[in-house]
Structure 1
Amino acid sequence: MSKQHYANALINGVSPAPTGDLLFDDEQNRRRALALESFIVEAPAGAGKTELLTQRYLRLLATVESPEEIIAITFTNKAAGEMRSRIQDSLALAQGGVAPTATHKLITFELARAALARSAELGWDLLKQTGRMRLTTIDALCSSLARQMPFLSRFGAQPATIEDASRHYADAARRALDHLEDDGEHAETVATALAYLDNDVTRLSGLLAQMLARREQWREIAELDNPELAIGDALHALVNLDLSRVVEALDASWQARLMPLARFTSAILERDELADWTELLTAEIDDLPKWRAVAAMLLTQKNEPRKTVTVKNGFPAGKEFKPQKDAIIELLQDLSASQILTLQRIGQLPRVDHDNDLIVRAMARLMKLAAAELWLVFRERGEVDFGELSMRAIAALGDELDPSELGLRLDYHIKHLLVDEFQDTSPTQIDLLTRLTAGWQSGDGRTLFVVGDPMQSIYRFRKADVGLFLRVAQNGIGELTLEQLRLSRNNRSCPPVVDWINQTFPQVFPAADDPTRGEITYREFVATRETASDAGVTLHPVIVAKSAGRHAAARVEAEQIVQTIAAEWQADPSRKIAVLVSARNRLTELVSEIRTTHPDWHYSAVEIESLVQRQPVQDVISLTRALHHRGDRLHWLAIMRAPWCGLVLADLHALAGDDHKSTIWSLMHDATRLARLSDDGQRRLGHLRIMLAEALTGQGRQSLRCWVEDVWKKLGGATCLEGANDRNDVDAFFNRLDQLDAAGRFAIDTFEADMEKLYAAPDAQADGRLELMTIHKAKGLEFDTVILPGLHRRSGTNEPPLLAWDSFALEDGEHLVAAPLNRRSVNAAEAPSAYDFLRRMESEREANESTRVLYVAVTRAVRHLHIFGVIETNDDGVLVTPQKATALGRLWPALESEFIAAMPTNAQASPIVQGQTDFYDAAGEGWPDDMPDQLSDELSCFVPAMVRLKTPYVTPDTWTAPPVANVSKERNITAVNALAATIGTLAHACMEQMLRDARPWTATRIEGMHASLERWLICRGWRIEESTTAARRVIDMLKTTIASADGQWVLARHEDDAVELALSTTVLSDEEQLTGGVSTKVVDRSFVDNGTRWVIDYKTADLGSSADAASLRQHAEYYRQQLEQYAALFQADGLPVREAIFYLAHGKLVELE
């Protein structure tokens, strides 16, 4: 058959029976997917899913009356954009008329030609009218639906949509609990819930906020009069479902074999559960106690199959009892893996009782009340979350029995739906699709086409449930049945990589599909890409002694990863490499290693490096918290340890080591304690105390940002920064602080959580060859080489919730099960509570998703996959099996032999890492003599080297102006005294504050600064009369500035506005070698006006009242070289540059011609 005829056959959707050959079956299923019927398609990683969707869309275009009858839904704007681009490119190629030679491209080409023919026939003009193709995200679709029915969907004007509504949830939860003060049912509901939680308002408020984020899962049950009954029924159904699987695994013949042995042991042990067991056990919940007895008979207390039995188990010694003993041993030995798992799960099934009905009912009513309060919060603020958008869109559609006008109209207009990434759908999204397809029947010309890979379902934190994919495959959506197709081709990875995945992951994935537990069996696929000479998978075991500690192991792993990257680039400098991790914090050591050993490497790390993990930002966070709360002991100690003060540990211990009740601020004023400190420590602490005393008296007189930033600068914080990255990080912190303050959202107990959402800006010089990212961010991408570090590390554990709850997709739909935290400890002999059952189910779901996350990671590799894992050895040098909860633990059954084979021959005898490493002491410090020695290895090996300013900087009696370690401020004024220099520093600081504070600056406001400026000067060692005179000079200069036309122009807002702009340049002269090769110059003022860059430097020189323009120009000539150096820093802008001096005392701007 020619390629042309073959392509036409595919378009017709005629499919022969499957053969079992994966590649051949893949071709048949792709052919079948183009038929005008409804399908659910499983497409593994690298299968060409986007191309299949493109072909399906083009196929449908050739059959509809208008393009709007087709809606293609994705989950991200990026995916929607990619599909749109693919379709447009395909149509453009078909318009050109040159058919491709590759079979799959020929299919697309022919489909595009047919679509263009339809477009020409009906006058669509698709190549120009691309907006008629409805390719959208599910959130955009919901927004569109809600906007069309504002009354029914309860939207008035369309609100804004926000991704993070956590503050709204917290406010709604607080408002709900405020009803405790009411009279009536609401007060009783709140009181009941609080009583159950020992009146802990904070915990209950936090629980409500968490539940509001997932309210779409419980919204219906909260509307019921007796929600506890529905929850009880759902729990009952879950138990029955599990028991049906028990009956399937432990069938009639197996039970018949066990019955006499069970009766025998019951008689010996005088137990009643199985004493009269003569009939087969069923899936009815009444038989659950007997099933528990069966599991207890065959399993140990560790939930493992018994290897032998004794009289304690009901099998006495002696010849007369040997037949029974032999029979039970044989039965135990015959247990299959699935039967063992079944027995283990019997013991996990909960007791179904009504002990918690009262609290469940109260919580349901409280959740309903909180949801109502949330709606009011949304309405007040004119914004909603995506969950609200989805629920209102569903409400706008009505239901199958009572569809809305919009639902009927859409039913008429929509003929075909396509859904991408279907494995990541949530119950709400399934509900939306059900209503959009209400009334659709197989063969009526309307089709639903969904495609996804259940092995790549990794978004449970976004409420995705892989079980829904399996349910839809089995039962369809609504009344619509979907034919299941499975693709098996991988077009991405080289054969050695695919072969390794196919050999390894069947042992890692579960043995059977289970929608309720999120279990997916492994689906094998076939590589279609040609191999490469060095393609494959390399294992990198990092062998460490168990006593070495986590940080030591992480350092060695990071070193080896850097060596691996270097080796990959040595083989091919153009290779694109990705280091993928499941959590951002697992890249910390690697980033540090790259910066230390290869500072010339430029890498992309989008939303990886949290700013709160950067030391300069941690220091300003501590300063902010300390300034707001004198009792915050931790952060007061932190600001004394910060570089601007730099107390050594011995001094800190001497100050506060034996007093854990007094505030640090009060201890700083205790003369007896201060005498314990070293001379250096006393000088440093004295300076800090003076600066903070001034700061605390000025609280509330400035904006929050100005106040904290001013204190930070006076302490020398800016001088402690080591480069542009540190400056950018701190600026980002202060910008965010300013935003929180302006929005009225700053709260000392929550602002640090707000800061956690800030990340370091990615390297602008990164060329795409090295990417550091989370596995979730990498989904959908591919790289020549993938490196997986830290597989031995466990994910963080969460505190047990006060209310365990989850929704489960059962045969008759989605059901909510909830149970409150156990008020008492559960006896090991008791059946688990509903709470324990739900927690275990959640753990199993998380473990199963972790396996899928690992699968996503390995399938990103095109040619080479590097797997790193730390393996510990015990005192005897024997390998310690990794914990099952880790990625390496899950891989271990498949990789143990390979790891051992990959290890150095002397690895077990001579571990790569042993002992501990001492990281200090750069400041000549050590542990105080009386410091307790019960410090963990984690602490003792992580004492960072101290970085701090030199003592003279912080000695008030020698202070003139802050010396700058890496900043060269060119103020070459001759014949001026120290006081003049101090006045210059103060005037510059005031000008910066005036420019950053958007509020109007009047003469009265400036005059009000006099006392603060005078105090500032006194604190720096100047006599009172000198301080008064100097403060007056600065005030007069500032008033002259705002009164002059030139001054107002300098202070006005301009394009590309900059204040105290630090710019780095390479050192060219020997005199600047102390800067380490880089000089940073600070430009007082710069902006663009009418296409010209202005560079302005302030001068406080007073040339007298008789000074005219000529004398000012003559004086300004002294600074020409300095201004020219500044101007040279802006050459890259390509704009003309004008240089000027602004004389504050005269209010005049003098341009250097």
Structure 2
Amino acid sequence: MSKLVPDHAQRRQALDPHASFIVQAPAGSGKTELLIQRYLVLLARVDYPEEIIAITFTRKAAAEMRHRIIRALQRAAGEPPKAEHERHTWGLARQALERNDMRGWHLIENPLRLRIQTIDSLCSLLVRRMPWVSRMGALLKPEEDARHLHQKAARRTLELLFDDRAPANELAAIAVLLRHLDNHMGRVERLLGAMLGRRDQWMRHVDGRKEELAETRRALESALSHVVKHALERVVEEFPENQAEEVVELARLAAKNLHDAGRESKIVACLELQGLPDTSAEALPCWLGITELFLTRSGKRRRAYNVGTGFPPQEQDAKERIQAIHLGEDIIMQLHELRQLPPATYDDKQWQVLEALMHLLPAAVAQLRGVFQEDGCVDFTEIALAAQEAVKAHVSSGSRGGIPDVAVRHLLIDEFQDTSQSQYELFESLIHDWTGDDRTLFLVGDPMQSIYGFREAEVSLFSRARTHGLGPVRLRSLVLETNFRSSTEIVSWVNKALSEAFPQVEDTVTGGVTYSPSTAYRTDMDGSTIRIHPFFRDDLEAQAEKVVQIIEETRSKQPEATIAVLVQARRHLLNIIALLHKRRISFRSVEIDPLGERPVVRDLMALTQALLHPGNRIAWFSILRAPWCGLTLADLQILVGDDFETAILDLISVRQEQLPPDGRRRLERVFPILTDACALRGRLPVRRWIEGTWLALGGPACLGKSTDLEDATTFLNLLEESVDGIDLRDENKFMGDVERLFAPSDVEAKGELQLLTTHKAKGLEFDTVILPGLGYQTRADGSRLLMWREYSDGDQPHLLLAPIQETGGQGDAAYGYLRTIERKRRDHESTRLLYVAATRARKDLHLIGHIAHGAEGDDVKSPDSRVLLSKIWKVVEPEFSRAWKDRREEVDATDVIRPEDVGVPLLRLSAEWEPVDPPEELVWKAKRERIEDEKEERTPVFEWAGDFRRRIGNVVHRMLQEMWFPDRVDFSENILRNALYHEGLEGENLETALVQVKEALTNTVEDSRGRWILSRHEHDEREYALTVAAGVGARRYILDRTFVEDGKRWIVDYKTSTHAGSDVDWFLNNERERYRSKMEIYARAMQATDGRPIFLGLYFPLLKGWRQWQYVESYEL
């Protein structure tokens, strides 16, 4: 008999198909399994599977959930498992499978009927279903990173200054904002672009219409008053009643003395005080006077009183009385926090800037939508906003349900703690009429794991839904406590270390949530350890050594153990990555090692910017300092001197002879190359131009590692993709794309060792987890044009809003208060981040941190309150103290090497370096191999596969990325028509193409082979991008369809070829030979990462034709 789960009753209750729940599921509590069980219970009772919608926040989570449900249905056809918890899921799946068979759903063959999707895909669905009200009838491509579009729109908004037709209120708003920020146009553009990226958070609050501004001001000042009132209520609640009378009397006395002496002090506000102040915003000055009376500026209890605080020498008795008043720590802290409160009203200058922003921001949104139309793409925020508008219009029309033509009866939302305010409102709209029937809502998440504040996740919404429900649906609250993942030792340590780090009471304003302890289920993990590794100096290299040591020791004792190194920020991994490479330890990583930080890419970027913009001095300095030239700083000073205007190449031609001999020799080689390169601008394709210049300068000779050439190739490939003719299409986008280039993960690494940020590790688990860098801070957020904070008080949302501080002006109280709130919010979130990191561990947990400033005397100093180490300091401090005492004599502050003491070596080629000409035979061989490679990769083009056929093929390929049904083809005619229109087809050509696209899709879903290709398989991918090493560079291939079935890897290519003759078999065989070499290139590329047998297939939708063969050859790409 298996062990009883402590929260067994709650888990069974959560499966009641007639009730709605909100479930708090801490780390390791089996949240996904519970979701799947709930889904199976509902699946056994609905008429159609589409009546259930499950929302997750990542594509990976959606795919995993769908896969596990389908696997449960497949297993339900067999014998029941032996394990009790597996038997329970098997029984639920069995009932769902019986319903599937009875209703003829064929879910195993058609898994996409399970509506398990991300919030982004849900928004896309809503927009497609309601194009007439969503304003997005056209097919616009979602852009993963749209910052370049935001900046373009911001620039165009500011360019209205030079447009005589621009509305006067917008011109005035721009002038006010520029004046407020010292006419720094570049800064205003950056800040405005950043605001556009977060517009879903502020658009509903920003209305520049004159008739709305007065009401907006009243609402915003009401929110400010509410904040003040809320803070004062807490003070009054904590204030010692037995000392209130004495406090009031002494405050009044001090105020009178200060007033009579003509001294300025906040205490003077207490002059007319007759009793303890109330909690209204008007009473705040009196409370600040009391705070000034009792606390120093730093928030400590005041011990000394003098004439400056209202107690001259003759008031000795009053001094003794006030010093005798005891205030507890809580009331002292709350009084001190009153100093950070904003005033309850805006002054005229603040409101002028705020009013300007309310005019300007909507204008910027209008410009952004124009940019979207021009570029044919949108950001995900625009899709979400369109979805909200569509649903609200649908609701206001009196229609039932939130999604047209979809009768949703059950909504499940995963990771609900990461819901934003706008998403919350969307969910409310979707269930606006869910009253008095059998429809259910199931929300599951964990406030302790809410770590996505940078995506506007609002953790307080979880509490709001738990207390007040979501929309009309009231929810039963369940809390799980069993941890199935971690050992008893780890669960106990986390409970002890983090229970005090979390706030003791919830705070909806700052996003503080309380800790919910867990109970370990597993008792079978002997030897589980939690180790603290103290350091007493800022030394990332030493910490990297410790990390690698732990990895090697763990592998020697537990060869099969999975290990993860988790960090707050990518930069904390750079030394670890370098050391792992040095020790030849393979690992997997996801977007960790940025190529843009590597010297070869930085040098190529500088070369690109300098040649494209001859006036970019920073880029030219970088070129002249780069290894291929290697001028010293003294050389650059001689060249430039105090001339801030003349172009660098012109200065070289005039001042080259003034350089020392070494500098002159270097420029004698480099200067002609750069001059020739500038003369070639516009005469060569950009990639060939930049790459040729780099080769001529000797760039490859400066590379230190074999991977450097691959990095250079990656940069040049991206450059080639980003050009339009002889220029970059969008330089800001290109620079952003370079920043987002990361070194590929080692495909040969088996996954036993992974390097991740904690955000990427959420939802994963490992035998051993190593947490280095706990003594380091993360970068703080920069300024915003607007600071805002939404929070809920009961079921009533509030908005706090403040404009950016004036450049060079004194601190703005409202803006400063919101910055303080944001810092507290980030502090709470960092505590939750540590919880997520620590709870990834199953058996062993290693924590590595340092105290930045060493120690004093026999006691170690506490870490900075802004670092993760401070969250658990009470628990780890004894370990640091022991380590300090053991090693104190070895640690001498004078031995610490400061960064400024270390000279940065200048790596450069010899001044006499000359490129070596390759032998003629080698030149010919390289040329011949390149020609053969190009011939091998070239897609054969026959006369009947013209431009018209290519455009049809593009649309068919794109549409076959989704699962189709015969009735959906007719329903989606407008979507297909728009897609063809965007391919450049119009009129009769468009209608002819539409017929063929519909025929191709219909044939595919009616043909058994087509359905097999489209159906869900193991390791299933559509439009799969595969990049492999090839010689000194890399090649990228896009596979239409690939999956694994019965241990075989399939690669399928769609062909929209047609054949008018009678001998279709001859035609298909001919096509197979025509495309054989291209398909086998794909196979060789796949073979580099997949050792399974590879089968290749060509599918012809217009002919329902199929040709397949097994790939047997294997040679280098």
| SS of residue paired to 1:804 | strand
Is the counterpart of residue 364 in structure 1 residue 358 in structure 2? yes
Kindly state the Cα deviation for residue 943 of structure 1 after the two structures are TM-superposed. 1.0
- Structure index of larger Rg: 1
Is the counterpart of residue 776 in structure 1 residue 762 in structure 2? no
Superposition pairs of residues 92-491 of structure 1, within 5 angstroms: 92-102=74-84, 104-180=85-161, 181=163, 182=165, 184-185=167-168, 186-223=170-207, 225-226=212-213, 227-250=216-239, 255-256=244-245, 258-270=247-259, 271-307=267-303, 309=305, 312-314=308-310, 321=317, 325-326=320-321, 328-332=323-327, 335-337=328-330, 339-355=331-347, 356-398=350-392, 402-403=396-397, 405=399, 407=401, 413-441=407-435, 444-491=437-484
| SS of residue paired to 1:909 | helix
* Counterpart-to-counterpart distance in 2, 1:433 and 1:1138: 53
Kindly state the Cα deviation for residue 707 of structure 1 after the two structures are TM-superposed. 0.5
Superposition pairs of residues 900-915 of structure 1, within 5 angstroms: 900-901=881-882, 903=883, 905-911=885-891, 915=895
Kindly state the Cα deviation for residue 848 of structure 1 after the two structures are TM-superposed. 1.3
Match 1:896 to one of 863, 874, 877:
877
Q: Is the 8 A contact 2:80 2:87 kept in 1?
A: no
Q: Is the 8 A contact 1:398 1:404 kept in 2?
A: no
Residue 557 of structure 2: aligned partner = 571
Q: Which moved more, 1:26-35 or 1:988-997?
A: 988-997
Q: Which one-letter code corresponds to 2:829 in the other structure?
A: E
Do the aligned partners of residues 159 and 826 (structure 1) sit closer, same or farther apart at CA in structure 2, a change above 3 Å counting?
A: closer
Residue 672 of structure 2: aligned partner = 690
* Counterpart-to-counterpart distance in 2, 1:1136 and 1:53: 45
Q: Is the 8 A contact 1:781 1:860 kept in 2?
A: yes
Kindly state the Cα deviation for residue 394 of structure 1 after the two structures are TM-superposed. 1.7
Do the aligned partners of residues 972 and 187 (structure 1) sit closer, same or farther apart at CA in structure 2, a change above 3 Å counting?
A: closer
* Counterpart-to-counterpart distance in 2, 1:1136 and 1:761: 23
* Counterpart-to-counterpart distance in 2, 1:991 and 1:1059: 18
Q: Is the 8 A contact 2:401 2:408 kept in 1?
A: no
* Counterpart-to-counterpart distance in 2, 1:393 and 1:1061: 47
* Counterpart-to-counterpart distance in 2, 1:476 and 1:668: 72
Kindly state the Cα deviation for residue 99 of structure 1 after the two structures are TM-superposed. 4.7
Q: Which moved more, 1:226-235 or 1:38-47?
A: 226-235
Superposition pairs of residues 484-883 of structure 1, within 5 angstroms: 484-544=477-537, 550=538, 553-596=539-582, 598=583, 600-647=584-631, 663-670=647-654, 674=657, 676-678=659-661, 680-742=662-724, 745-746=728-729, 751-823=734-806, 833-873=813-853, 879-883=860-864
* Counterpart-to-counterpart distance in 2, 1:588 and 1:344: 41
Do the aligned partners of residues 260 and 27 (structure 1) sit closer, same or farther apart at CA in structure 2, a change above 3 Å counting?
A: farther
Residue 15 of structure 2: aligned partner = 34
Q: Which moved more, 1:712-721 or 1:700-709?
A: 712-721
* Counterpart-to-counterpart distance in 2, 1:262 and 1:248: 19
Do the aligned partners of residues 761 and 939 (structure 1) sit closer, same or farther apart at CA in structure 2, a change above 3 Å counting?
A: farther
Q: Which one-letter code corresponds to 1:557 in the other structure?
A: Q
Do the aligned partners of residues 408 and 755 (structure 1) sit closer, same or farther apart at CA in structure 2, a change above 3 Å counting?
A: closer
- 1:1124-1144 per-position Cα deviation (integer Å, ceiling 9, x unaligned): xxxxxxxxx9648899xxxxx
* Counterpart-to-counterpart distance in 1, 2:275 and 2:1026: 85
Q: Which one-letter code corresponds to 2:342 in the other structure?
A: P
Q: Is the 8 A contact 1:517 1:844 kept in 2?
A: yes
Kindly state the Cα deviation for residue 645 of structure 1 after the two structures are TM-superposed. 2.6
Do the aligned partners of residues 910 and 326 (structure 1) sit closer, same or farther apart at CA in structure 2, a change above 3 Å counting?
A: farther
Q: Which moved more, 1:988-997 or 1:698-707?
A: 988-997
* Counterpart-to-counterpart distance in 1, 2:798 and 2:379: 23
* Counterpart-to-counterpart distance in 2, 1:60 and 1:986: 64
* Counterpart-to-counterpart distance in 1, 2:68 and 2:1079: 41
* Counterpart-to-counterpart distance in 1, 2:383 and 2:1026: 38
| SS of residue paired to 1:151 | helix
Q: Is the 8 A contact 1:417 1:449 kept in 2?
A: yes
Q: Which one-letter code corresponds to 2:769 in the other structure?
A: V
* Counterpart-to-counterpart distance in 1, 2:204 and 2:507: 25
Q: Which one-letter code corresponds to 1:760 in the other structure?
A: A
* Counterpart-to-counterpart distance in 1, 2:651 and 2:925: 32
Do the aligned partners of residues 1093 and 494 (structure 1) sit closer, same or farther apart at CA in structure 2, a change above 3 Å counting?
A: closer
Q: Is the 8 A contact 1:39 1:484 kept in 2?
A: yes
Residue 953 of structure 1: aligned partner = 913
| SS of residue paired to 1:806 | strand
Q: Is the 8 A contact 1:149 1:406 kept in 2?
A: no
Kindly state the Cα deviation for residue 787 of structure 1 after the two structures are TM-superposed. 1.2
Kindly state the Cα deviation for residue 68 of structure 1 after the two structures are TM-superposed. 1.9
Superposition pairs of residues 5-16 of structure 1, within 5 angstroms: none
* Counterpart-to-counterpart distance in 2, 1:1137 and 1:527: 52
* Counterpart-to-counterpart distance in 2, 1:1056 and 1:213: 31
Can you give the 5+ residue segments of structure 1 that lack an aligned partner in the other structure? 8-22, 545-549, 918-936, 963-968, 974-980, 999-1054, 1065-1086, 1095-1132, 1140-1153
| SS of residue paired to 2:889 | coil
Kindly state the Cα deviation for residue 850 of structure 1 after the two structures are TM-superposed. 1.4
Do the aligned partners of residues 1057 and 284 (structure 1) sit closer, same or farther apart at CA in structure 2, a change above 3 Å counting?
A: closer
Q: Is the 8 A contact 2:451 2:833 kept in 1?
A: yes
Do the aligned partners of residues 1135 and 899 (structure 1) sit closer, same or farther apart at CA in structure 2, a change above 3 Å counting?
A: same
| SS of residue paired to 2:534 | strand
Kindly state the Cα deviation for residue 412 of structure 1 after the two structures are TM-superposed. 7.8
| SS of residue paired to 1:533 | coil
* Counterpart-to-counterpart distance in 2, 1:122 and 1:1135: 47
* Counterpart-to-counterpart distance in 1, 2:501 and 2:809: 32
Kindly state the Cα deviation for residue 627 of structure 1 after the two structures are TM-superposed. 2.3
Q: Which moved more, 1:194-203 or 1:770-779?
A: 194-203
Q: Is the 8 A contact 1:207 1:803 kept in 2?
A: no
- 1:30-77 per-position Cα deviation (integer Å, ceiling 9, x unaligned): 122122211111111111000111111122223323222211111111
Kindly state the Cα deviation for residue 152 of structure 1 after the two structures are TM-superposed. 0.9
- 1:670-718 per-position Cα deviation (integer Å, ceiling 9, x unaligned): 46x545424x443222111121122121121111111110000111212
* Counterpart-to-counterpart distance in 1, 2:525 and 2:743: 37
Do the aligned partners of residues 640 and 985 (structure 1) sit closer, same or farther apart at CA in structure 2, a change above 3 Å counting?
A: farther
Q: Is the 8 A contact 2:586 2:753 kept in 1?
A: yes
Do the aligned partners of residues 1062 and 163 (structure 1) sit closer, same or farther apart at CA in structure 2, a change above 3 Å counting?
A: closer
TM-score by length of 2: 0.78
* Counterpart-to-counterpart distance in 2, 1:189 and 1:719: 54
Residue 68 of structure 1: aligned partner = 50
Q: Which one-letter code corresponds to 2:806 in the other structure?
A: R
Do the aligned partners of residues 107 and 189 (structure 1) sit closer, same or farther apart at CA in structure 2, a change above 3 Å counting?
A: same
